[in-house]
Amino acid sequence: MAKQRAPHLVVFTGAGISAESGIQTFRASDGLWADHAIEDVATLDAWRRDPERVLRFYDMRRDQVRRAVPNAAHQALASLEQQGFRVSVITQNIDDLHERAGSRRVLHLHGEILKARSSIDPRLYYPLPRGDIALGDLCDKGSQLRPDVVWFGEAVPHFADACEIAAEADLLLVVGTSLAVMPAASLLEHAPLDAPCVLVDPEANALAPPGVARISQPAGQGVLALVHHWTHEGRLWLPETLLE
């Protein structure tokens, strides 16, 4: 007799989950982006015009990530996986907080700040456990290294992989995202029609599309409560007492 497949929780996270670890979003008025125009630091044209400026900006972001620590939401999701639940994380975030919390199946849609990659061959990646990227740092094919981040206007290379993961969800948990960044926001359309979906965000009532359940709480509070219910019951479900 074939072994029954364990229910699959697919978690889609955005900047709101990392903000609780002190990593400011680019929309924050006091964030790293506040003094930088997007077109000057986060586009391919900016890289071609002034690569040194772009590298300095991402040095600041990298430093912020290294100083941050996983928060209660990251830790709760990792604990769920460690207790035998099948969990896949798809994140828009370029930090490594999910991994540092202990999550093992994490797909970064927009790249990873603690990696460099070739300017000419996106298959060539280089980890950056320490240090930054300087002009003159070259890949194995002799081209300048750049941050492993998806800049505005660039394709999202792992989007097809994310769609395949979403298509296998038994429950979709969305945390800390406005669901406004495309194409990532369309991931909800790839989940099975019978898979419940819940959004955890302080602005969930305003952000949630029709048919999506809402928990209007910060990531740490809302995710922790859900994980408590799931581990107590040993199954994935939507507790009515938490939903708006």
Q: Are strands 8-13 and 171-175 parallel, antiparallel or unpaired?
A: parallel
Question: Could you confirm whether 110 is annotated as catalytic?
Answer: yes
Q: At what angle do helices 72-82 and 219-233 cross, to 10 degrees?
A: 20
Exactly one of 110, 158, 190, 228 is catalytic; which is it? 110
What gap in Å lies between CA 36 and CA 168, rounded to an integer? 39
Q: Is 15 within 8 Å of 176 (Cβ atoms)?
A: yes
Give the Å distances, CA to CA, from 230 to 27, 77, 99, 162, 217: 33, 11, 21, 24, 18
Alpha carbon distance 177, 166 (integer Å): 16
Q: Residues with catalytic annotation?
A: 110
